[in-house]
Amino acid sequence: MGLSLQTFPSTEQAKAALEANRASRYLGGGTLLVRSANEGEVSFSTFVRSTDPALTSIEISAGSARLGASLTMSAIIGARALAVVSPAARAVGGPAIRNMATIGGNLYAPAPYGDFTVALLALDATLEIDGNDIPIGAFLAGRDDTYARSIVRAVRFAIPSSDQFRFLKVSRVKPKGVSVLSICAVLEEQDGLITSARIAYGCMADRPMRAAEVEAALAGKPRSQQGIADALALATKGTAPITDAIASAWYRSEVLPVHLGRLLLTA
């Protein structure tokens, strides 16, 4: 079956085109959707995209960022104000993929992809979808149904300080490879104790997930080997890791506490 591309100058027009044709899909950078077409996916026949400049804007204000959903990983890496979160963007693919892959596409990427979304989840980002503000957790829970045909306009989050933000991607191939798992931690500390922890995993379920029990166990504890011991014991609680050619679910579960511990104890 032949494919076609429809390009619209505004996101609203693209949204209308998506709604008018169930056999259409919204095209971000193409690293997932064109790939699936190349692999023979026949559930869609039309690519819809928007060249709306608002989708590639970066707004930084009062410690918060608002990023258009069509921004590429390279654009994030190149933005000085986003240097703190750039390791998560740098973890995505090689240079060519990073020049193409968008925030919006990453939000829909199934495991083992979607490393930047793991960071957005730990950052507790808010998504702008059809004029509504949607918490990223709610979006991820509904991305296969409620938001399956939505166009994410932008993401917003408070920019953490460099000592609050930690990101780790584990892969077998260096320097770049598909994730065994990824972890992002946003920690706040006061007087040597963790006052707030947001921990997100990639590849430990079919989509990025928060580690709620780990977060609770870290609260009020010092960031030391002994202080994080209870949290590490709960590291795999609630996880349902994927099994793929990169690693089995068993392997991912075995190595998660090790990597989480290393990440938390990073100076």
**What is the maximum span of the chain, computed from C-alpha positions, in angstroms?**
63
Q: Per CB under 8 A, which region of 15-23, 39-47, 115-123, 244-252 contacts other proteins?
A: 39-47
CB of 39 or CB of 133, closer to other proteins: 39
State the nearest-atom distance from the C-beta of 187 to other proteins, in Å.
28
CA dist., res. 61 & res. 17, Å (int): 33
Q: Which of 145, 175, 191, 226 binds other proteins (CB under 8 A)?
A: 175
User: What is the DSSP code (8-state) at residue 244?
Assistant: -
Determine the straight-line distance between the first and last CA of the chain, rounded to whole angstroms: 54
Write down the H helix ranges in 151-234: 212-218, 229-233
> Which class for 55: exposed (0-12), middle (13-18), buried (19 or more C-beta within 10 A)?
buried
State the nearest-atom distance from the C-beta of 20 to other proteins, in Å.
17
Could you tell me which residues are beta bridge partners of residue 8?
A: 50
80 scored as a contact of other proteins (CB under 8 A)? no
CB of 176 or CB of 223, closer to other proteins: 176
Q: In what order do the strands lie in the sheet with 46-50?
A: 4-8, 46-50, 24-26
CA dist., res. 233 & res. 33, Å (int): 38
State the nearest-atom distance from the C-beta of 185 to other proteins, in Å.
25
191 scored as a contact of other proteins (CB under 8 A)? no
Q: Per CB under 8 A, which region of 37-45, 122-130, 197-205, 216-224 contacts other proteins?
A: 37-45
Q: Per CB under 8 A, which region of 33-41, 151-159, 193-201, 236-244 contacts other proteins?
A: 33-41
34 scored as a contact of other proteins (CB under 8 A)? yes
CB of 38 or CB of 190, closer to other proteins: 38
Question: Cα dist. 148→199, 202, 252 in Å?
Answer: 25, 20, 28
Contact 170, 150 (CB under 8 A): no
Pairing of the two strands 46-50 and 126-129 = unpaired
Count of residues that interact with other proteins, criterion CB under 8 A:
27
Q: Per CB under 8 A, which region of 11-19, 42-50, 158-166, 247-255 contacts other proteins?
A: 42-50
State the nearest-atom distance from the C-beta of 38 to other proteins, in Å.
4
Tokens coding 173: 């191939």
* Site residues for other proteins per CB under 8 A: 2-5, 7, 27, 29-31, 34-35, 37-39, 46-47, 49, 74, 93-97, 99-100, 175-176
